[in-house]
Amino acid sequence: MNTRATLATTLLALGSLAAPAQTLNTAKLDSLLDGLASHDKLMGSLALSHDGNVVYSHAFGSAQVAPKVPPTPATHYRIGSISKVFTGVLIFQLIEEKKLTLDTKLATFFPQVPNAKDITIDQLLSHRSGIHNFTNDAAYLGYMTQPKTPAELLAIIAQPQPDFAPGAKYEYSNSNFVLLTYIVEKLTKMPYAQALQKRIFAKAGLKNTYYGGKIDPKKQEAFSYETSGSGWKLSPETDMSIPAGAGALVSTPTDLDRFLEALFGGKLVSASSLAAMQDVRDGYGRALMQAPFGSKKGYGHTGGIDAFRSEALYFPGDKLAVAVCSNGGSYAPNEVIVGALSLYFGRPYKLPDFTPSTYAPTPADLDRYVGTYASPAIPLKIAVTKDGTTLKAQATGQPAFALEPVSAGIFKFDQAGIKMTFDAAKPTFMLQQGGKDYPFTKE
């Protein structure tokens, strides 16, 4: 599950775009993906679909490292918080059936949750409820691999005090969508997995999407891996009773494309419900994120659970769906999406250079970069700190990450596709991500 919105989600954007390419440069896209795999930067699968037809599909790396099992386009991946879109669709179907409204109070179902009498379905869908995100707590790491009953999870979610008053602001919380899962079950009178099959999978023709369980390679399911100095390390598995409709689904990129095509093609909810899902505030609508690509607007979601990371987007104006699922690596799936879209739309694109840098900054340089920086272009501050010989950056409300030195004044963080270039004479740096430049100045 995504534990919070990230810079990678916020900044997917490029400058002006050329017209769509007549022929997708599949060889160059293959080179990007195979290069990521050969340098142990990322492994997974990517698919693009136009107007219901798959125009590109490529799997790269390993579905299982030891013994090595290569992935195929049919390999299944945990998709984390992309599951939230499916849950949102179920909720809007129930709204259309007049079984609840956006204004229905949480207290109707779970009065034991703090502020339940003031929290609406709308606020749960848009992460504006103020309910504390249980996956942010240190205790979560202690039980994430063990099964939990709905009653146990409800008690965990209801225990903390609210983070803020309902409706006061946006703050990502998996707790919202776990509660929505249980509401779906109450109103449909069936398990969430069964509701998905009847209400979404069958209607959209999804044959490779389902509620996950313990990873089984016999079902063409990939394991997830973390990177370390000695290679790939198998990641712990979250027990799928915990994320529920906030992050428990398994799928493939082609099935995710098909799901988004069905959603935007009117097969799952009405036009008015879809418009409500796309009503974006602070970058998030109702179970949908907005991802601009130049002048184009894409809608979808990102996902992260264990070492799996994923992203799926649909661009209504172009009838284009793109999805990437990964099971390990430090390179941002968001940057894979940027590369794929650049090549699809005929935009100049330079393949990344994965040659390791031998540059080592001096202690004096590191000291000079330390400070808190702000930008007029992004509503986030970035604190730069020094930890021994390592420079770290931390955006507001997000975890700190180590910056990898590239050359004098230049650092990067591949996992989010970030490059930071410090000015030699001024207390500023330029943050580059998703093909855009964002100037930051030390406060």
- Residue that wins the pLDDT comparison between 386 and 6: 386
Where does residue 213 rank: exposed (0-12), middle (13-18), buried (19+ CB within 10 A)? middle
What pLDDT shows up at residue 398? 81
Report how far residue 412's alpha carbon sits from residue 331's, in angstroms, rounded to the nearest whole number. 11
Domain assignments of the chain as residue spans, ordered by start: 1-355, 363-442
Q: Kindly indicate the confidence band of residue 385, based on its pLDDT and cuts at 50, 70 and 90.
A: very high
Report the SS3 class of residue 313: strand
Average pLDDT over residues 269-298: 95
pTM of full prediction above 0.85:
yes
What pLDDT shows up at residue 229? 65
What pLDDT shows up at residue 394? 94
What pLDDT shows up at residue 434? 72
On the question of pLDDT at 415 being above 50, the answer is: yes
User: Among 394-398, 422-426, 429-433, whose mean pLDDT is lowest?
Assistant: 394-398
Q: Considering the chain, what is the average pLDDT of its residues?
A: 93
Q: Is there a cis peptide before residue 379, judged by omega within 30 degrees of 0?
A: no
What pLDDT shows up at residue 89? 99
User: Over the stretch 67-98, which tens digit does the pLDDT of each residue have?
Assistant: 999 999 999 999 999 999 999 999 999 999 99
Q: Domain 363-442, what architecture?
A: Beta Barrel (2.40)
Beta strand 390-395 pairing with 378-387 = antiparallel
Could you give the count of Cα atoms lying within 13 Å of 332 in the half-sphere of its Cβ?
23
Do residues 406 and 426 lie in contact, with contact meaning Cβ atoms separated by under 8 Å?
A: no
On the question of pLDDT at 9 being above 80, the answer is: no
The closest of 335, 316, 336, 300 to 80, measured between CA atoms, is 300
Report how far residue 295's alpha carbon sits from residue 434's, in angstroms, rounded to the nearest whole number. 14
Q: Kindly indicate the confidence band of residue 1, based on its pLDDT and cuts at 50, 70 and 90.
A: low
Average pLDDT over residues 328-334: 92
The closest of 248, 215, 223, 202 to 83, measured between CA atoms, is 248
Report how far residue 179's alpha carbon sits from residue 150's, in angstroms, rounded to the nearest whole number. 9
Report how far residue 272's alpha carbon sits from residue 197's, in angstroms, rounded to the nearest whole number. 23
On the question of pLDDT at 182 being above 70, the answer is: yes
User: Over the stretch 246-279, which tens digit does the pLDDT of each residue have?
Assistant: 999 999 999 999 999 999 999 999 999 999 999 9
Q: Kindly indicate the confidence band of residue 52, based on its pLDDT and cuts at 50, 70 and 90.
A: very high
**Amino acid identity for residue 236 in this structure:** P
On the question of pLDDT at 12 being above 70, the answer is: no
Do residues 398 and 382 lie in contact, with contact meaning Cβ atoms separated by under 8 Å?
A: no
Q: Kindly indicate the confidence band of residue 377, based on its pLDDT and cuts at 50, 70 and 90.
A: confident
- Residue that wins the pLDDT comparison between 357 and 104: 104
End-to-end CA distance of the chain: 34
Average pLDDT over residues 183-196: 98
**Amino acid identity for residue 214 in this structure:** K
Do residues 206 and 255 lie in contact, with contact meaning Cβ atoms separated by under 8 Å?
A: yes
Rg (CA), the chain: 21
Q: Kindly indicate the confidence band of residue 15, based on its pLDDT and cuts at 50, 70 and 90.
A: very low
The closest of 58, 43, 125 to 89, measured between CA atoms, is 125
CATH 3.40.50.300 assigned to 1-355: no
User: Among 83-87, 186-190, 413-417, whose mean pLDDT is lowest?
Assistant: 413-417
On the question of pLDDT at 5 being above 60, the answer is: no
User: Over the stretch 147-175, which tens digit does the pLDDT of each residue have?
Assistant: 999 999 999 999 999 999 999 999 999 99
Q: Phi and psi for 100 in degrees, rounded to 5?
A: -165, 175
Report how far residue 175's alpha carbon sits from residue 125's, in angstroms, rounded to the nearest whole number. 11
On the question of pLDDT at 138 being above 60, the answer is: yes
Percent of the chain with pLDDT over 70: 95
What pLDDT shows up at residue 443? 95
Q: Kindly indicate the confidence band of residue 357, based on its pLDDT and cuts at 50, 70 and 90.
A: confident
**Amino acid identity for residue 392 in this structure:** K
- The residue length of the chain stands at 443
* Torsion over CA: 110, 113, 117, 119 (sign): negative
